[in-house]
Structure 1
Amino acid sequence: MPEHKHEHEKKTFWVVLLTAVTMVVEIIFGLITNSMALLADGIHMGSHVLAIGLSWIAYIVVRKVSKNEKFKGNSDKILSLSGYSSGLMLLLFAFVIMVEAVERFFNPVDIIYREAIFVAIIGLMVNIASAFLLHHDHEHSDHNIRAAYLHVIADALTSLSAILGLTAAMIWDIPFIDTIAAIVSSLVIVRWSVGLLKDSGKALLDMKNARAEHEHHHH
C-alpha cells in the first residue's frame, strides 16, 4: 500500500468525522431555533458526509484488496469508481440547491439573520479546515481524494454564498440576493462535478491507456 494512499485514508476519515459532527450540530440548532437555513445547511452537509464517507471506504477497500492475492483487478479503479459516484452525488447536490433557491425566490421566508449567518460561518470554518486536511500533492492525486476535496469546497462555496447572501439581504433588505448567490454556486459545482465525471469515467473505461498505446504503435 503506497504511503500517500494511507495518508489519504486517514485524512478522509477525519474530514468525515468533522463534517458529521457539524451536520448534527446544525440540524439540532436548526430545530431549536426554527431556522430553515440551518436545517437545510445541515442536510446538505449530510450529503457530503455520505460522499466523503464513500471516499474513505474506497481507501479501506483498496487497502484490503491490495493485500488479497485473489483480486486480479486494478485496485486504483476502485478510487475512480468512488470518485465517479461521488461526482454524481455532487451533480445531484447542485440541482437540489438550484431547486431550493428557486423555491425560496418565489416563497420568501422570514429568516432570523443573525444566527443563520453565525452558523453559516461555522460551516464555512469546518469546510476550510477540511479543505486544508484534504489538500494533496498533485502527483499523489486520485479521483477519490479529488472527489472528497470537491465536496468540501462545494460546501464551503455554498456556505460562503449563504453568508454573503444573508448579509446583503440583512443590510439592504434584498432577499433575492441569496437566490442569485445560491444559483451561481450551484452552476460552479455543476462544472466541477462534470469535470470529475469526465476524468474518472475516462479512467474507468481505460481511455487514457488506449490513446497511449495507439500512439505507441504509430512510432
Structure 2
Amino acid sequence: MATRAGERHRGRLWAAFALLAAFMVIEAVAALLTGSLALLSDAGHMFTDVLGIGMALAAIYAASRAAGDPQRTFGLYRLEVLAALGNAVLLFGVAIYVLIESVRRFADPPEVPAGPMLVVAAAGLVANLVAFGLLRSGAKESLNVRGAYLEVLGDLLGSAGVIVAAAVIALTDWWYADPIVAVAVGLFILPRTWKLARAAVRILVQAAPEHVDVTAVQTRLAAVPGVCDVHDLHVWTLTSGMDVASAHLTLDPAAQVGPVLVAAREALHDDFDIAHATLQVEPAESCQETTW
C-alpha cells in the first residue's frame, strides 16, 4: 500500500524537510539583506518543497490516525488537500509580488552583491541535491514521496538560475541578470501553482478524477455478468492517489450477489485503479434511483 510505503520513508522525509526548511529561511534572510529578487524567488520556490514534503508527512500521519476516531469515517486525509490549496494561494502571492517587483526594477536595477548571493544559492543547490538523494528511493514506492521528490527536482532549476545570475553579475556587473532570473523562476512557479490549486479544488468539490471517464466506468460495470443496470454512480478523490467510487447495481433475477460484487470490484480496480468501492446490489423491481 502507498501509505505503508510512505511510512517506511518517513525518516528520510523528515530529514529532507528539516534541511530544506533551514535553507529556505537562510535564502529568505539573504534575499532581504542583499536585495536579490532572484534569491527571494528561489526561496519562494523552496517553500513549495518544504510544504510539499510537509503535506506528504501530514498525509502519512493522517492515514495512521484514520482509525483513531469513529466520528471521522474518512480519517484526516482531506487535511492534505486543504494544505495544498493554502500552499497554492501563498505561492500565487509570492510569484506575483516577484514579477511586479522585477518589472519595476528593470527601469533602474539596483546593485546586488554577487558574492553572498552566489554562496547562498550554491548552498541551496547542495541542500536540494541532498534532499533529492534522500527521496529518490521512496519516490518509486509512494505517491506522496514522489510528489515531494518532484518538488525538489523542480527547485534545482531555481537554485541553478540564481547561481547563473550571481556569476553574470560578478563577471560583468550586468545587474539586469537578477530581475531576469527572478522573472524566469516566478514564471516557472506559476503554472505548477495553478495546477496544484486546480487539483485541490477538484478534490474539494468532489469532481471525478481527470483520468477517470465516468461514462466508461458505468459501461464497464454494466458489462459485468449478471448486471442489467448501473445507476447512482459517483467517482471522486479522497486525497491524492486515493480514488473511490459508489454505485447501485441492478441484477438479473438469476444473478448471484457474491460473484457479481467480486467481478465489479475487480473491474474497477484493474481497469480504473479504484481500490475502494461501495456497491449496492438490488433486484430490478426494487430499483429506485436518487435525484441528486
Same-fold call, TM cutoff 0.5: yes
Tell me whether 4-13 or 49-58 shows the greater mean CA deviation.
Answer: 49-58
Matched, 1:157 2:157: yes
- For the Cα contact (< 8 Å) 2:128–2:152, is it kept in 1? yes
User: Which residue does 2:271 correspond to in 1?
Assistant: none
Structure 2, unaligned runs of 5 or more: 221-292
The number of residues matched between the two structures is 215
- For the Cα contact (< 8 Å) 1:117–1:166, is it kept in 2? yes
- 1:75-105 deviation line (CA, Å, top 9, x unaligned): 4443333333333333333223323323333
- For the Cα contact (< 8 Å) 2:59–2:77, is it kept in 1? no
> 1:197 is aligned with what amino acid?
A
- For the Cα contact (< 8 Å) 2:118–2:167, is it kept in 1? yes
* TM-score of the aligned structures, taking structure 2 as reference length: 0.59
Q: How does 1:1-219 map to 2 (within 5 A)?
A: 2-7=3-8, 9-26=10-27, 34-37=33-36, 40=40, 44=44, 47-48=47-48, 51-52=51-52, 54-55=54-55, 56-73=57-74, 75-135=76-136, 136-137=138-139, 140-142=142-144, 146=147, 148-149=148-149, 151-204=151-204, 205-208=206-209, 211-219=212-220
Q: Residues 215, 37 of structure 1: CA spacing in aligned structure 2 closer, same or farther, 3 A cutoff?
A: same
Pair member with larger Rg: 2
> 1:137 is aligned with what amino acid?
A
Tell me whether 83-92 or 38-47 shows the greater mean CA deviation.
Answer: 38-47
Q: Distance in 1 between the 2:23 and 2:143 partners?
A: 26
Q: Residues 201, 149 of structure 1: CA spacing in aligned structure 2 closer, same or farther, 3 A cutoff?
A: farther
Give the structure, 1 or 2, with the largest relative contact order (CA under 8 Å, sep 6 or more): 1
> 2:184 is aligned with what amino acid?
V
> What is the alpha-carbon root mean square deviation over aligned residues?
3.6
Q: CA deviation at 1:21?
A: 2.4
Q: CA deviation at 1:126?
A: 0.8
Q: Residues 84, 30 of structure 1: CA spacing in aligned structure 2 closer, same or farther, 3 A cutoff?
A: closer
Q: Distance in 1 between the 2:88 and 2:141 partners?
A: 21
What percentage of aligned pairs have identical amino acids?
A: 20
* TM-score of the aligned structures, taking structure 1 as reference length: 0.75
